[in-house]
Structure 1
Amino acid sequence: MVAVLVRLKLTLLKNALLRSVLKVVGLVLGALYGLGVIAVSYAGFVALRAYGSVELISGVTVLAFSAVTLGWVVFSVLVSGIDETLSPAKFALLPVSARRLQPGLLVAGLLGIPGIATTVVALGLVVAWSGSVAPAVAALLAVPLGVVTCFLLSRLATDALAEMLSTRRFRDLAVVALALSGVGIAVGVNVVAQGVGTDPAAWGASLERGAEIAGWTPLGWAWAVPASVAQGQWLAAAARLLLAVALVVACWAGWRHFLQRRLTSPLEGRSGSGKVRPGGAVDRLFGTSPKGAVAARSVRYWRRDPRHLANLASLVVLPAMVVVLQFVQPDPQDLVIVLAPLTISLILGTVVAFELAYDGSALALHVHTGLRGRDDRAGRLLAVAALVVPLLTVVVLACVAVAGRWDLLVASLAMTFGTALVVSGVASWISVFWPGHAPPPGGNPFGKGSSGGVEGMLSFLLVTGVSVVVSAPVLAAGIASLFVDGLEWLALALGLGIGGAVVAGGVLLGGRSLDRRWPEVMRSVTALET
């Protein structure tokens, strides 16, 4: 079964690369980035082996690899998602159990760029401890345990949160948990940095103390085994090894539980909300026109689809992190707090750009009914506006109130809403040519397509780069208004004028392009459902 799933994974990857040049570009860029990380890491491992003391090697390796383990979980949930090329839902109709699938899914899951890069970098732990035989042997035991722990913890976290998001009772709680987790991690890092300061001696003592603490957490149990052996702490090494093995066993059992549920009960099975009553508040708000119907359906999707709720979490995490980080600083900057809502405007482009992908095969309804492209573009923007405009307004008012800078309210509104309009317009046009891929309905909302997270990152960079250039006059006037009174009203006028023009252009040009490219768009957004 392992060989079958590995061949299937490689075949799907090969076919995806043959169909799209963008996927090839994304894979190449991701591979180059991974090679760069590996090269820098091994240079550090060699330097540690040659010049580092046992305490220094212990502190650096334990903390660094604990951070890698945490990064697998955080990035899987909040940033790039997990690779769902071999989604368990695709095996639901086959007579195969979770027990048989697990080993193959584990090996296939580690064949992506993150898995390969992590494995190769983790082998550098052997290089760092190769000065002595016993620590090197312990490192050889720690590497597979640590790598498997990274994978299993990320799977367990995303599957558990996906389960919460698929249940209406826990959806809002899950979104809040995601936001708080991102904020908590950022605050923790900042507090540690503030407590250490800039004294080299303090850094050395803090490094040793931090490694000791991390080594007794699930993130560092495996990675701290060779450090304990090198320091002659044989009892601690044995305890950490047993704890690391127990963690892998527990995560393996937990993953099997969620995997079995995915094989027998798709996530979408409990995410429905019953009948949709025509003439409700949403329909009255948007009307009965074609674009109104698209907007009403999109709003319902945002409230009920776990995949959209995962995006909603990403919209609220960044500004919350910026604000909270300022308050743990000894000298918080009011301007940074006031400008925090601008982060929502910048990430909004990714949300708008992948709206087509979230429809999947349901997008055929637009094609069969002869919906005009501009109605599709306008309807989706109306839905986003209905949700994001209140969110932006509340966040801007809250940030200005927290900073106590009501004199900057107009400037903050101008830059935030002006940039949001520009980003939405640009994304409405670019997404027609690059609709991207989204987890299929009923799939893990934290999953990503077979092209990996690189394609999503490239889309974000393209939309954001173009938007920043177009909205430069708005941002320039807004920043200048911080020093010259009266310019905030110019910034507001520019924001509404330029933003409105870009939105109108995005709807018009994107609509015309969509009318010509319906077949190509359909093929792209349904690639993961076949």
Structure 2
Amino acid sequence: MVAHVLRLRLALLIGGLRGPRRTVVRLVLAIAVLVVAAGAAIVGLLAVRGTALSPAIIVVGGSVLLIGASLAPAMGGIDDQLSPRSFSVFGTSPRAVAWSTMLASFISIPIAILIAIAIVVAGNGIAAGAPPFVAAICAIGGVVTFVFMARTSMLLGALWRSHRSRELSRIFVLLALVIVVPAAIFLASLDWGGEVPPAFAEAAEIASITPFGAVWAVPFAVASDSSLTALCIVIAIVTLALCAFVWDVAVGYAMRTVDKPVSVRERAGMGWFSVFPRTQTGVVAARSMIYWFRDRRYVANMVVVPIAAVAASLPLLIAGVPLGIVLLLPVPIMALFFGWIAHNDVAYDSTAVWMHVVSGVRGLADRLGRLVPIIVVAVPILAIAIPVSIAFYGRWAFAPALVGVSANLFLAGLGLSSISSVAAPYAVSRPGDSPFQQPQRTGSGIGAQTLVLLGAIVCSIPSIMLAVTALTDDITKANAAMWMGIGVGTLVFGAGLAIGAILFDRRGMQIMEFAETS
């Protein structure tokens, strides 16, 4: 079995160069990009060999590599040429297929490139004072862990591939932006003057005791006689064993099950409804996602929020407020407006809200489902804006405080908006009208708007005060501001959802009357 799979792997590897010209060109370009990237990594590792930068760069870089291996294949929909499920028709035992295909996975150009990098990593460990045997074993362990994670991710991705859609891919892209962009900004803002920046050293220390960084940290921990050596070794061994176990179980499951047949027409037409679970909350969230990204009234709101946040900060700069502080303000203002933007969401439904009322949708499902699009839009924007602001401000120790204040304003605004949109909706432009058209109405709705804005600010006062203290006096208050903001924001968010759900259940007739008359 093993020999047969290995021959098949070699045939597939060579056959990749015999396909259509376009496919061959893409394959060659991809290999060239990998080689160039690997060459740059090897040159960089050789340049820092024997320096204090080497352990931190290897641990953090290795952690990122393993995180990518565990997520990218499933997120990117990479096809597995040696999918274990394709062997199920031959009557071979799942365990034999699992380990034969796993062994064949090492015969690939990307893994060959990774092995070359691992050799250099082992050399850096030896230069740092680690025993050659330990450095070599850990380099091999890192490569094997990478292959296990990548193969498992690829297999699990194939199991739910029939349920993937273009919308889900968009969410994955947003998640990648949330992770990659802040990390890139953080690294670019550090002072790389030959010594390890304190923030980067702390990140490396944290990564060394995670399943993704432990295997890379062991040689350097042994060389420095660190107190974390035993912990890193245990985590690395347990991670590898757990990866092997998950792979074995996943292959067995894949070979014993078949996909539920789904027609191409059904798969293509479900859109966001194929992404979210088939529950009341999931259906409301899917419907909300559709009109948030297609209705120009919502699109206008999303575009206006960042512009308004920047515009509100400019007068302070003219008034003489230091530039560093002014650059911090747009993020909390955006968080406040993103939380406030849903305060009249029911009114934007117009008469379509009858579907929620007459179908017996629970209040909690309606309240929570309507907030999903705002969360999907706001979280990536804030996650990118926070490190950008901190990078310009120049003091990363203040980042937790900015996170806390922003989370407090955003979550509190969402919670209060969940109440306001049911208790005090007011007329807005109808679907298809200009988002800037003001309809004739008896009430202006200014009271609801003002209460939500002021309420979110009032609920955020504790975290704001701690953040101001961290900014002007004691930077150690930054962590307290973060936890205070997240805690208070979560409480207000939960309370707002509960109250809004009760009001929605009790005010169904009033909501229908409002939709028909506004």
TM-score by length of 1: 0.48
TM-score by length of 2: 0.49
